[in-house]
Structure 1
Amino acid sequence: MIPVFDGHNDYLQRAVAAGPAADDLWLNGDGSGHMDLPRLKAGGMVGGFFAIWIPARDNPNGAAAAAAMENPPYALPLAGEIDHDSALPHAFEQAAALYRMERTGTLDVVRSAKGIRDSIAAGRIAAILHIEGAEAIRDMDALHLWHQAGLRSLGPVWSRPTVFGHGVPFEYPGGPDQGPGLTAAGRDLIRECNRLRIMIDLSHLNEAGFNDVAALSDAPLVASHSCVHALCTTPRNLTDRQLRVIADSGGLVGLNYGVSFLNADGRRVPFKGFDPILRHLDHMLAILGEDGVALGSDFDGALMPADLPDAAALPALTQAMLDHGYGESLTRKIASENWIGVLERTWGG
């Protein structure tokens, strides 16, 4: 089985919602969502980025939004900016859920590339603490505190604005060139992340913010869970120019499995087989090269393809890559080795 190291999941929200049953949900699963320990083991998923994400108190989307995404064109409203004091308790709950998972002895919260390798070798899940949308970070002192708590990857925004910058909306068709760049606080955040060697995640960030990070950062540029705009014209996907900028930095893009980012017509409808995934991977490889492409599932945060319904189905994806002609060496790079490599270059060791 080819091991998979994954660029993004939203499992921690499910863990928090499970409350006292969180250990049983992780250790045994309940058939819901996309991942739990048994399904990770069955699919060969050896680790990944576990995201802290703050839910909006009044979500303007829901069933109506899902229906709209099934029949483009669509343009979905987003909740407004979430203040720090409202965000912090949610972030603490999700971080605590990840450390509770570590206490089961089946997972390690890792802080280095060596830690990833050691955890995998010991048969445990190597988990990176990631924050998606930095509402829970008030200032640079708080960033240092989160770093001490294990934070090693940070996206300045989800799609809604933060005090640091602006994201892209959920719409089809549309492009990422929407809104202003990073704020002064956002530029300070990028510089301090560089000093601390926290990976900066460009997924969800608008194009002006992307350009600001590219100008400021001395680390490889990374988008943890994004696809190709030339093949699906949603603002969440990266243009060829953005892909070239990432390639020039020695960075990486993790392919998102969410069907609305893969389908050429932007529809949020599951497809059979793996052709859309392979088209996006082919395009990424042509620009980013063999060391710049990885996987970023968005498990428990997006609608999956029919033949990739959860983590247990990952061997079908890697087999499709092999059947497509990638060969075992390239497939292993995309599935896990490229993530570990870019983190080693970002974190150092």
Structure 2
Amino acid sequence: MAHSTAPAVFDGHNDVLLKLYRAGGPAAAESFVTGRDGHIDLPRAAEGGFGGGFFAVYVPSEVDLDDKYDQMNQPSYDLPLPEPIEWEDALPVALNQAAILFRLEELGALKVCRSTADIRACLASNTMAAILHIEGAEAIDPELNTLDVLYQAGLRSLGPVWSRTTLFGEGVPFRFPSDGDIGGGLTDHGLRLVKRCNELGIMIDLSHLNMAGFWDVARHSNAPLVATHSNAYAICPHARNLTDEQLDAIRDSDGMVGLNFAVAFLREDGQMADTGIDMMLRHLDYLIEKLGDTRVGLGSDFDGAMVPSEIGSIAGLPALRDAMRAHGYDDALMEKLCNGNWLRVLEKTWGA
């Protein structure tokens, strides 16, 4: 799958399971193998040198996308957050999406990875590597029984919130300009979730958490701090991006940030409009400066965001790698940014 002349991209976040869920659930998995509309499928993975990444399970809210995009093209905006989703409603959706991932594995499209050894073996054999990830923990019950069961099924990464409030904490709205200092921190349930994730070796994803929740995780977690798909607030002052103080904490924990390809989190004006790869390089340069070159990777948000048209889908990843090389990133740095840094932080978090 990976091009012989370039390191395969192991990516911090995609939403293809949501797209397949909306297209019919596990029965729609065949389209991933043969080719589908959207950003990610098997044929384009071979074309783009996509080695795999975090496959998010996400329970959607009803959102008027046309209205959302219109608002996010204003000089400033603050989109209202959807209402919380109850566990009883979230669990069937989450299980359906997890079943899609396991169906893809049955079809030979990918392998669900539970260790870094699994990921390395996939990269070596040109097999797409997939981490089962939950974005927003609505499907986790207060007693955390669902967490234990999903861990046994393969769950290895979890974000306590998307942007709407959960039993465990509060997220940030799609607000510009704004930092993430919005709302309260983790609840008692959220603190227990962090502790149990640490015990099991489930990575805790800080993307979408508000600032108070971020600092609660920083105080209570014994694992590296990781934001799978977030950018630099200093360049794009969006509530979804990370301040210098947050980046310092991630660096000090020997954690990781994955560059989000979503245009609204790249552009200085925060707007939902096309932008060039040059803006991605600006964020990468800044993140490397703040975090060091072992703590930065890619976290595209493919199939969940509008990405620069120069890339378009995973088939366009060679354009990004070419731009990174032209920008002066040498072979060693390319290897780290494309997949090595994810392997490093996952090995430290999972212990294997």
SS at match of 1:225: coil
Cα distance in structure 2, aligned partners of 1:16 and 1:73:
33
1:28 aligns with 2:34: yes
Q: Say if 2:167 is the partner of 1:166.
A: no
- Alignment-derived partner of residue 47 in structure 1: 52
SS in 2 for 1:226: coil
Show the counterpart of 1:97.
100
In structure 1, the partner of 2:256 is 252
Secondary structure of 2:238's match? Answer: coil
C-alpha distance in 2 between matches for 1:154 and 1:227: 19
Map of 2:138 onto structure 1 = 135
Cα offset, 1:122, TM superposition = 2.5
> Retained in 2: the 8 A contact 1:18–1:25?
no
- Write the distance in 2 (CA, Å) between the matches of 1:18 and 1:41: 23
Preserved contact between residue 56 and residue 132 of structure 2 (Cα < 8 Å): yes
Q: Report the equivalent of 2:116.
A: 113
User: Is the alpha carbon distance of 1:314 and 1:39 closer, same or farther for their aligned partners in structure 2, counting shifts above 3 Å?
Assistant: same
Q: Secondary structure at the match of 1:167?
A: coil
- Segments of structure 2 that go 5 or more residues without pairing to the other structure are 1-5
Superposition deviation, residue 18 in structure 1: 2.7
Stretch moving more, 99-108 or 181-190? 99-108
User: Given the alignment of the two structures, is residue 73 of structure 1 paired with residue 79 of structure 2, yes or no?
Assistant: no
Q: Secondary structure of the residue that 1:227 maps to in structure 2?
A: coil
Question: How many residues are paired up?
Answer: 345
**Structure 1 residue 308: deviation in Å?**
1.0
- Would the aligned equivalents of 2:9 and 2:339 in 1 still touch at CA under 8 Å? yes
Q: Name which of 180, 183, 208 aligns with 2:212.
A: 208
- Aligned ranges 1:256-271 → 2 under 5 Å: 256-271=260-275
CA distance in 2, matches of 1:106, 1:298: 20
The equivalent of 1:14 in structure 2 is 19
The answer for the alignment partner of 2:3 in structure 1 is: none
CA distance in 2, matches of 1:332, 1:266: 30
Q: Letter of the 1:172 partner, please give it.
A: F
* Corresponding residue number in structure 2 for 1:231: 235
Return the offset for 1:17. Answer: 2.4
**Cα distance per residue 1:45-75 (max 9 Å; x no partner):** 111000000012x43x421111111122111
**Counterpart for residue 317 of structure 2:** 314
Q: Distance in 2 between matches of 1:195 and 1:179?
A: 27
In structure 2, the residue corresponding to 1:129 is in which secondary structure? strand
Deviations 1:149-186 (A, max 9, x none): 10000000000000000000001111100100000000
Whole-angstrom distance in 2 between the partners of 1:318 and 1:114: 25
Residue 21 of structure 1, CA deviation: 5.2
Q: Report deviation, 1:103.
A: 0.2
Aligned residue in 2 for 1:275: 278
Distance (whole Å) between structure 1 residues aligned to residue 72 and residue 259 of structure 2: 20
Give CA-to-partner distance per residue, 1:179-212, whole Å, 9 cap, x none.
0000000000000000000000000000000000
Aligned to 1:203, what secondary structure does the other structure show? Answer: coil
What residue number does 2:7 align with? Answer: 2
Q: What is the aligned-residue RMSD (CA, Å)?
A: 1.0
Corresponding letter in the other structure for 2:184: P
TM-score scaled to structure 1, two decimals?
0.97
2:295 maps to which residue? 292
- Any conservation in 2 of the 1:243–1:288 contact (CA below 8 Å)? yes
Is the 8 Å Cα contact of residues 2 and 315 (structure 1) preserved in structure 2?
A: no
- Aligned partners of 1:107 and 1:125 also within 8 Å: yes
What is the aligned partner in structure 2 of residue 126 from structure 1? Answer: 129
Distance 1:24 1:95 in 2: 15
Give how far 1:106 is off: 2.5
Identity %: 52
1:217 aligns with 2:221: yes
TM-score (norm 2): 0.96
Task: State the distance in 1 between where 2:83 and 2:193 align.
Answer: 21
- CA distance in 2: counterparts of 1:240 and 1:226, whole angstroms: 13
Residues in 1 aligned to 2:149 and 2:213: alpha-carbon distance in whole angstroms: 25
Q: Secondary structure at the match of 2:258?
A: strand
